[in-house]
Chains A and B, each alone.
Chain A
Amino acid sequence: MSKIVKLTKGFDLKLVGKAPLELVDVATVTTFAIKPSDFPGIQRPKVLVNEGDTVKAGTPLLLDKAMDQIIYASPVSGEVVEIKRGDKRKLLEIKILADSTITYENAGALDLNQDRATLVAALAASGVWPHILQRPFGIVANPADTPKAIFVSTFDTNPLAGDLAFALQGQERYFQAGIAALAKLTAGKVHVNVDGSKPVAAVFSGVNQAQTNQFSGPHPAGNVGVQIHHLDPINKGDIAWTMSAVGVVQLGKFVLEGIYDASKLIALTGSEMAKKGYVKTFTGACVSTLLEGNTAAGHLRVISGNVLTGEQVANNGYLGFYHNQLTVIPEGEYEEFLGWLKPSATKLSFHKAIGMFSFLRKGEFKVDTNTHGEERPFVVTGVFEKVLPMDILPTYLFKAIVTEDFDEMEELGLYEVIEEDVALCEFVDPSKNELQKLVRNGIELLMYS
């Protein structure tokens, strides 16, 4: 039975720099990297290749010694050009220089009617597996677990996020095959959650072996964590899995064709991006090629992902494993005379405090990285509650994490949230606290102690 959920809490950040639904013409990216830091929960990464090795798309590059069935595969075929390490030989990146035509490791089409253990083993070794994340904690799923349900969100409500229906159009067959594979992995249901505010895109419609639910409302309606909360919430001891729609399509390709095809459409967004639109590349693409001659002048922030949950990358950095979006906005290193008092309708704010008139303005807002104030203790109450559409008391949860009170963290719902779910809270917080980091700290406390 499908569910229709209308959410009212939340906040849509309407920013300048949306990607039009068209492919843009930029140079082809040739270097790709896989970064262990993209995978929260990875504990002891072990490199399986040496510099100079040639690899195919799907060749294992890396595994986590703590969970060695899962391999992290090369997104493209080519040569391993650098294994970059940081302090204490910490592994930072494995860089691959791509061939002009990609060749694939081929495992052959996957028979979904095998027993679950064989199926899981094949998928864990496929390269697609890291797309499957576990709730609680938002870490790569453990193949040994059987989740109570699997959730797939097919729309992204984050600021300037790419349109998944556009990015995945024509991939119906793969999407369906991916869902069929997921259905074998869970004891319960697979939930496909679609945007209830518009007609369901072709690629996500008519999916068998899954329950389709409609979600509508402002951001974070597209966050899978919010959706789980309204469908089948996670309690202590429960394990659910989530997979992005992009991951499901890649899974479907592995099921039908036996290859790890890490190609995807990346949305180029942000006010300082000259040519906005979509570009076809592979997971972990080097951003320098995408940015060259494609940005405005000035001191810019390059973000892998969106402005709420993304991560700053260097101008020659690499897109994150889970990111389908590249955003460029100006840095905000300026002082503003009486900036805390000056009335403004052009500065984006969730609040309506004296002088903040952005709520009266209908258009899009240009934003930069200025913090607009300093960090302070929690003072204002009732704000986080307005942007978190869950039956959770965010302020109390945050305070429980600050005080490292384990019982409270569990009881107040830390099993139900990861960073992205509190990203809006972090944005609207007038006290400018780092709440996403706080939540990850809390999760690590629960996981490792």
Chain B
Amino acid sequence: MKLLQNLFDGMKPNFEKGGKWEKFHTLYEGHRTIAFAPDSITKSKGTQIKDATDLKRVMITVVIAMIPALLFGILNIGHQHFIATGGEGTFLDKAIFGALTVLPTLIVSYAVGLATEFTFCVIRNHPISEGYLVTGMLIALVMPPFIPLWQVGLATVFAVVIGKEVFGGTGMNILNVAMTARAFLYFAYPAQISGDLVWTYLGDKAAVDGFSGATALAVAYNSSIDGTPVVQALSSHNAALGADYSFMSMFMGWIPGSIGETSTLMALIGAVILVATGVASWKIIVGGFGGAYAMGLIMNAFEVNQFMAMPAHYHLVMGGLAFGVVFMATDPVSAAQTELGKWIYGILIGVLTVIIRVTNPAYPEGIMLAVLFMNVVAPLIDHYVVKANKTRRLQRATV
């Protein structure tokens, strides 16, 4: 490691004040602190020792929690491809096919995002923050497998600049950056990110007869039009091809969808990692699932159409709810920041997701809009929680 240290030391004069690359000082620091935890020490006043955990470790924890979803996503894309094209694929075939589809998206997301981030850090002379470690992975995981790479790049630039940097960078953003990327694509290029054909990557092959690429949510929505019970419609979907939308296959995630969002199980594994490490708020996660389930039950009570009559627990495994609740809603910067606020925020995300799904034909996937909407509302929730705290303090004074 001495070698690497010497390499950095050798470059250092160029980046110091008066050096030829002075402007890029922040890039030097950024890379050095990734290779080596810095040798900085505490000041003479204030705490003389500091906790061994820093923001980099917090962020990498989130990335690690997403890895099961990523790996499953890679495998599932291969799996879906072979179902749709009718071929027989081994585990390895599926994994390789999936990796070749997903990795370019992941690379583009990280490369473009980091380049944007570095540019801003140099212009503003900010330290490079580790926030993009998480965002880069999230953006890739919420993309449909079929997405053109230039769209991934464009959405990433939009999200990093408009979603984060204009507010002052990491820690200052109002909206979840990855959701901003996804929402940008949704509204800028609706043709490529909605409909039945974008969720399964066919490659150069044609779909087999009888294959329908509709997502579970689309199937459920259609059944409310033609009046078949949703569970029946879901389980008969593509059943001839050996794939269906039964509760179990949706829970496991063997369904078409965005790269990392299909598997509820993998999201739950991520949730366990995040909650056990204390990095994400369990209140938001429990609130999100609970809110969705409760709203599902309320829909059941009214039962105006078949979608509303769908068993409430189906909502938890369909679409990107689990992924969104676990990884998106818990982003501490854009979520509610008070403890009571986190409950309210989480529950409302679940409730809104189900309402949007069931009642709005234009947006069969509700989680994206629910999270973004609640990001905007979160400061308002916090405002009232904070106000209650102030009021308690004031009331105490008169006693």
Contacts and interface: CB of A to CB of B under 8 A. Distances in A.
Interface stretch (A93-101, A128-136, A167-175, A377-385): A377-385
B172 interface: yes
Contact of B51 (A235, A348, A376): A348
Contacts of B394: 235, 411
Contact of A354 (B51, B61, B393): B61
B203 interface: no
A434 B40 CA distance: 14
A308 B48 contact: yes
B277 A352 contact: yes
Interface string B132-169: 00000000000000000000000000000000000011
A5 B37 CA distance: 41
Interface string B294-322: 00000000000000000000000000000
A353 interface: yes
A437 interface: yes
A373 B57 CA distance: 9
A354 B277 contact: yes
Given A329-B49, A385-B339, 12 more contacts: A237-B397, A303-B48, A332-B41, A339-B36, A339-B37, A370-B40, A370-B50, A373-B54, A373-B56, A393-B338, A395-B337, A431-B171
A413 B396 CA distance: 12
Interface string B261-291: 0000000000001001111010000000000
A423 B47 contact: yes
Contact of B58 (A348, A380, A391, A393): A380
Interface stretch (B69-77, B94-102, B364-372, B384-392): B384-392
A391 B389 contact: yes
B248 interface: no
Interface residues of A, number: 76
B141 to A, nearest CB: 19
24 contacts: A235-B397, A301-B48, A303-B48, A307-B48, A312-B45, A329-B48, A333-B41, A334-B39, A335-B38, A339-B36, A348-B51, A349-B53, A352-B276, A353-B278, A355-B57, A371-B40, A371-B41, A372-B52, A373-B50, A379-B131, A382-B281, A382-B337, A391-B389, A412-B389
A393 B41 CA distance: 28
A373 B170 contact: no
Interface string A312-334: 10000000000000010101111
Given A307-B47, A374-B127, A429-B51, A412 B386 contact: yes
A412 B390 contact: yes
Contacts of A331: 41
A233 interface: yes
Contacts of A329: 48-49
Contact of A411 (B51, B333, B390): B390
B191 interface: no
A235 B394 CA distance: 8
A133 B223 CA distance: 73
Contacts of B46: 426, 434-437
A215 interface: no
Interface string A332-347: 1111111111001001
Nearest to A355: B57
A356 B39 contact: no
Contact of A436 (B37, B47, B339): B47
Q: How large is the interface on B (under 10, 10 to 19, 20 to 34, 35 or more residues)?
A: 35 or more
Contact of B392 (A310, A354, A382, A391): A391
B51 A428 contact: yes
A351 B278 CA distance: 7
Contact of A336 (B37, B55, B170, B337): B37
Interface in B1-33: 1, 4-5, 33
Interface in A396-428: 396, 411-413, 423, 426-428
Nearest to B5: A335
Contacts of B393: 233, 235, 391, 411-413
B57 A353 contact: yes
Contacts of A14: none
A356 B333 CA distance: 23
A310 B149 CA distance: 55
Given A412-B390, A430-B54, A335 B39 contact: yes
A353 B39 contact: no
A50 interface: no
B55 A427 contact: no
A432 interface: yes
B53 A353 contact: yes
A393 B336 CA distance: 13
B250 interface: no
B49 A374 contact: no
A207 interface: no
Nearest to A340: B56
